[in-house]
Amino acid sequence: MSDVYKLPIPAEGQCRLASGWLWLGVIALLVSGFFSLLLVLSRAPFISSIIPWLDFFHTALVVHVDLSVLVWFLAFGGVLWSLNSTGRFMRLGWAALGLAIAGTVIIAITPFTGDGRPLMSNYIPVLQTELFFVGLLSFAAGIVLLVWRSMTAIPRVGQRISSEGALRFGLNTSTVATAMAIMGFVWSWWMIGDSLTGQGYYELLFWGGGHMLQFTYTLLMLVAWLWLASASEVNLPVTPRVVVVMFAFGLFTIFFTPIIYFSYPVLSAEHISLFTWLMKYGGSLATLPLGLAILHGLLRSEKCKPEQGPFRAALIASMVLFGIGGGIGFMIQGSNVIIPAHYHGSIVGVTLALMGLTYVLLPSLGYVAPKPRLARIQPYVYGAGQMLHIFGLVWSGGYGVQRKVAGEAQGLDSLQEVVAMGLMGLGGLISIIGGFLFIWIVLQIMSRGRNHC
């Protein structure tokens, strides 16, 4: 049996705090799921022509992306960083959670308060209303406090690198990436000043920090992969010391952020292209070798026990989707729906890993374990739907169908384009079913309450 990558159960205080962050993440996914249903219907052929929601499309897209990516991923970061902490500064931890919850609620209700004037800026799309920015800043303040506590209340990794220490090092690395993202947002805001407005302003404001958040999400996914592999008895062919080195490659890449900011102005073409290059190639330094090692272990491992089925299913689905999404990234030419195909593959790969890790963590947080049969099916349903969704987007992108548009604006002039986007819609609906299945499984368990850790 290879090294077991998992964290020990912490004290009750950390468990309750982690449980609070998990509640926030799952509820954010639930609300995001309703918005995603509106999105899929507003782009599907025939259906899109008879629904009155097209003016609502971009507003729904903003909230869907912010809740399903920004809030869900960083909330799950809060789960793991809380488990990877000591009992210090607990009040700071609860204050962080409270601010994040308040911000999330405000973001979710903003679309129903009037015209949001949405801007589809990359990484963090926005609604141009004071209420939305109050919510976004409240959530951001919560994450700042979360990162502050996570970097000051961490246990020692230890001089002798163990599997537990390697996992802690990976989580510490993801915290550093988030701190770099925060620094990037503040630095960009300071340097841009009043020189830009509208789409261009928010695009550059979130560019550098947004790229760093992708490193945060990827590092959290790698931690989840290791944990899921151990939970489903995958024999990993790497030692904890090698795992630390792989995470260190990611840490090395992250520290290029201040170099780029110091070297090139935020408004320069070099600033934009270097962050694109950093994410496209730098992220592979940690992801590719560790992913190949886990894949090798999967291929050599025996069939897992029935109760471990959900963990193995989530690991397989996550690796497949993330790999496909990364491969599609090298196909991007121009601004068409191949871009969201790449993005969906990568992001859903992360989401599936965190869904699987949720199943692992529920008993550790004091809840009952999910029923294996239903929890094993869920990752495959969600992943299969996203595969169809991505394939439809790639097919459509080959015909030049543009991204971030709906209805007649998509310009579906041929049967092939209609069929491709129809496949996208079908896959999207299947993945929504898979997503709601995860939420139903988890909320049914968490609503019963928890015992002590």
Per-residue pLDDT of 172-181, as tens digits, reads: 999 999 999 9
Go through 296-333 and write b for each residue having 16 or more CB atoms within 10 A of its CB, e for each that does not.
ebbeebeebeeebbbbbbbbbbbbbbbbbbbebbeeee
3-class state of residue 9 by DSSP: coil
Q: Are 26 and 97 in a shared domain? A: yes
Q: Are 46 and 164 in a shared domain? A: no
Q: Are 209 and 227 in a shared domain? A: yes
Q: Is 0.75 surpassed by the pTM of this model?
A: yes
How many Cβ atoms from other residues are within 10 Å of residue 15's Cβ?
A: 20
Q: Are 332 and 320 in a shared domain? A: yes
3-class state of residue 48 by DSSP: coil
Nearest in space to 388 (alpha carbons), one of 120, 40, 31: 40
Supply the range of the domain harboring residue 7: 1-155
CA 12-14-19 angle, to 5 degrees, is 95
- Give the CA distances from residue 116 to residues 57, 109, 195, 301, in Å, rounded to whole numbers and listed in that order: 11, 11, 23, 51
Let me know: does 58 contact 118? Beta carbons within 8 Å: yes
State residue 218 phi and psi, 5-degree precision. Answer: -65, -40
Q: Are 146 and 33 in a shared domain? A: yes
Q: Are 148 and 162 in a shared domain? A: no
Nearest in space to 60 (alpha carbons), one of 40, 75, 78, 44: 40
Beta strands at 126-127 and 118-119: parallel, antiparallel or unpaired: antiparallel
Let me know: does 226 contact 167? Beta carbons within 8 Å: yes
Q: Are 274 and 321 in a shared domain? A: no
Let me know: does 154 contact 85? Beta carbons within 8 Å: yes
Last residue of a domain, one of 139, 155, 171: 155
> Which parts of the chain have pLDDT scores under 50?
51-54, 398-413
Q: Are 221 and 364 in a shared domain? A: no
How many Cβ atoms from other residues are within 10 Å of residue 180's Cβ?
A: 23
Let me know: does 164 contact 83? Beta carbons within 8 Å: no
CA distance 92 to 97: 9
Q: Longest Cα pair distance anywhere in the chain, in angstroms?
A: 64
Let me know: does 69 contact 103? Beta carbons within 8 Å: no
CA distance 250 to 169: 11
3-class state of residue 112 by DSSP: helix
Q: Are 161 and 145 in a shared domain? A: no
Q: Are 190 and 319 in a shared domain? A: no
Show Cβ contacts of residue 46 under 8 Å, excluding neighbours closer than 6 positions: none
CA 123-347-200 angle, to 5 degrees, is 15
State how many domains the chain has: 3
In this prediction, residue 45 carries a pLDDT of 57
CA distance 416 to 394: 12
Q: Are 108 and 4 in a shared domain? A: yes
CATH of the domain at 80: 1.20.120
Last residue of a domain, one of 155, 172, 191: 155
Q: Are 61 and 183 in a shared domain? A: no
Last residue of a domain, one of 258, 277, 300: 300
Nearest in space to 10 (alpha carbons), one of 201, 154, 180: 154
Q: Quick one: tokens of 365?
A: 């947080």
Q: Counting every residue, how long is the chain?
A: 453
Single-letter residue type at 236:
L
In this prediction, residue 420 carries a pLDDT of 63
Nearest in space to 336 (alpha carbons), one of 417, 267, 279, 277: 417
